[in-house]
């Protein structure tokens, strides 16, 4: 079934926002300026979004959907743990490469904007519990060393966010394979040190 007219319009507005954020910060974004880059009127924006903060939250939610879909390869705890992790992190890098400016816009604006700060912390925090749970499962299976899972999950997730924003947030983007290799080495060495050396040799092949 083809997308509805409403879905096409909503998608076009979101795409326009993504393009804007490739070169401009959130503080420069206005409804009028955004809609002027589309074929739709200013009032059309409010048919789909309450305000610019809601618009940004929607953009971030769409990024999250892509990350979550890719993360299932590892979080599902089915099959090879290292293989699933590699697949999940590869998808994470692909999504961030495509949507890095959105991540950067929210992260940059968050310290001075209480509402976006909450949105950003909820975005990051949504991955902490699920990663922590997977770590605990691997510890029980003897695949991962014994340590407190949640703080390590937080550290890994925020490392990812910082590196992906720096690599893909603006300007000339870093090579995806270099970024993936760096992230993979940290995750593997932390979670699967017993066979990390062999797994690291496979990175980039």
User: pLDDT for 79-134, tens place per residue?
Assistant: 899 999 999 999 999 999 999 999 999 999 999 999 999 999 999 999 999 999 99
pLDDT of residue 171: 79
**pLDDT tens, position by position, 47-66:** 999 999 999 999 999 999 99
CA–CA separation, 202 vs 15, rounded Å? Answer: 36
Instruction: Provide the whole-model pTM.
Output: 0.89
CA–CA separation, 187 vs 103, rounded Å? Answer: 21
pLDDT of residue 194: 79
Helix (H, G, I), strand (E, B) or coil at 124: helix
Domains of the chain: 1-49 (1.10.10), 52-201 (1.10.357.10)
Is residue 162 pLDDT above 70, yes or no? yes
List all residues 6 or more positions away from 64 whose beta carbon is below 8 Å from its beta carbon: 123, 126
List all residues 6 or more positions away from 168 whose beta carbon is below 8 Å from its beta carbon: 96, 97, 100, 101, 103, 174, 179
- pLDDT bucket at 202, cuts 50 / 70 / 90: low
């Amino acid at each position: 079934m083809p997308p509805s007219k409403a879905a096409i319009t909503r998608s076009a507005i979101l795409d326009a926002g993504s393009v804007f954020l490739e070169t401009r910060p959130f503080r420069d974004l206005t409804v009028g300026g955004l809609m002027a880059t589309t074929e739709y009127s200013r009032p059309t924006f409010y048919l789909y979004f309450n305000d610019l903060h809601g618009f940004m939250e929607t953009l971030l939610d769409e990024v999250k959907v892509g990350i979550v879909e890719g993360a299932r390869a590892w979080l599902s705890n089915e099959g090879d743990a290292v293989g699933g992790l590699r697949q999940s992190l590869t998808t994470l890098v692909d999504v961030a490469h495509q949507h890095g400016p959105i991540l950067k816009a929210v992260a940059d604006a968050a310290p001075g904007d209480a509402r976006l700060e909450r949105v950003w912390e909820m975005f990051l925090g949504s991955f902490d519990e699920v990663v922590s749970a997977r770590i605990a499962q691997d510890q029980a299976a003897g695949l991962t060393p014994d340590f407190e899972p949640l703080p390590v999950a937080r550290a890994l997730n925020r490392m990812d966010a910082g590196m992906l924003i720096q690599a893909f947030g603006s300007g000339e983007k870093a090579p995806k394979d270099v970024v993936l290799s760096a992230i993979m080495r940290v995750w593997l060495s932390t979670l699967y040190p017993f066979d990390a050396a062999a797994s690291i040799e496979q990175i980039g092949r």
